[in-house]
């Protein structure tokens, strides 16, 4: 069983997080930046390097739906990015609803005492960790259904 890579895909950045080997926790790793939204070659190469480095066997990608659950323009771009990831890595890419993850990430940074001016340096990777944590929680709930404790 490999680790899971979590990604928070934005117009100019991609936050990266990864699970521990037992898939119990998610931790922030990096924020990949690019000058233009459609310049993804280096971003995909960096993600591919993280896949190898951490021995990842699946990717969880934040999926930015609107609050009413409808598709946003960003969600459509995320689907295209997902397709690129699958083609580049050969791994399954699972979409995880990312509603309010940036708000939660900002709250985490505030609680840690990170000054507002510095939060932008960490927000995307923390958001990726929140997305991955949410996915792990939903996986646990699915595996707990129907289990009996003696």
Q: What is the pLDDT of residues 40-87, one digit of tens each?
A: 999 999 999 999 999 999 999 999 988 888 888 889 999 999 999 999
CATH code, domain with 130: 3.30.420.140
Record the pTM. 0.87
Residue 150: its pLDDT value, please? 46
Residue 149 falls inside a structural domain:
no
Residue 60: its pLDDT value, please? 97
Residue 56 falls inside a structural domain:
yes
The domain in which residue 137 lies consists of 3-144
Contact 17, 129 (CB under 8 A): yes
d(Cα 80, Cα 131) in Å, to the nearest integer? Answer: 19
Residue 150 falls inside a structural domain:
no
What is the residue-wise DSSP string for the chain?
--EEEEEEE-SSEEEEEEE-TTSS-EEEEEEEE-SSTT--HHHHHHHHHHHHHTTEEEEEEEE---TTSPPPHHHHHHHHHHHHHHHHH-S-EEEEE-TTHHHHHHHHHHHTT--HHHHTTTHHHHHHHHHHHHHHHHHHHHHHTT----
Residue 139: its pLDDT value, please? 79
Q: What is the pLDDT of residues 81-124, one digit of tens each?
A: 999 999 999 999 999 988 777 777 778 778 888 778 787 888 88
What's the number of domains the chain is made of?
1
Residue 96 falls inside a structural domain:
yes
Residue 74 falls inside a structural domain:
yes
Residue 101 falls inside a structural domain:
yes
Residue 144: its pLDDT value, please? 61
Residue 60 falls inside a structural domain:
yes
Residue 100 falls inside a structural domain:
yes
């Amino acid at each position: 069983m490999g680790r899971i890579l979590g990604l928070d895909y934005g117009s100019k950045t991609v936050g990266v997080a990864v699970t521990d080997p037992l898939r119990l926790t998610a931790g922030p790793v990096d924020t990949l930046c690019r000058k233009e939204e459609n310049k993804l070659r280096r971003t995909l190469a960096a993600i591919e390097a993280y896949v190898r480095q951490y021995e990842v066997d699946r990717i969880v990608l934040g999926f930015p739906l609107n609050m009413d659950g409808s598709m946003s323009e960003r969600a459509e771009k995320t689907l295209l990015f997902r397709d690129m990831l699958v083609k580049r890595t050969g791994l399954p890419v699972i979409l995880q609803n990312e509603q309010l993850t940036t708000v939660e990430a900002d709250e985490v940074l505030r609680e840690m005492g990170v000054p507002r001016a510095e939060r932008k340096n960490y927000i995307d990777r923390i958001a990726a960790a929140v997305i991955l944590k949410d996915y792990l929680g939903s996986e646990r709930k699915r595996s707990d259904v129907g289990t009996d404790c003696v």
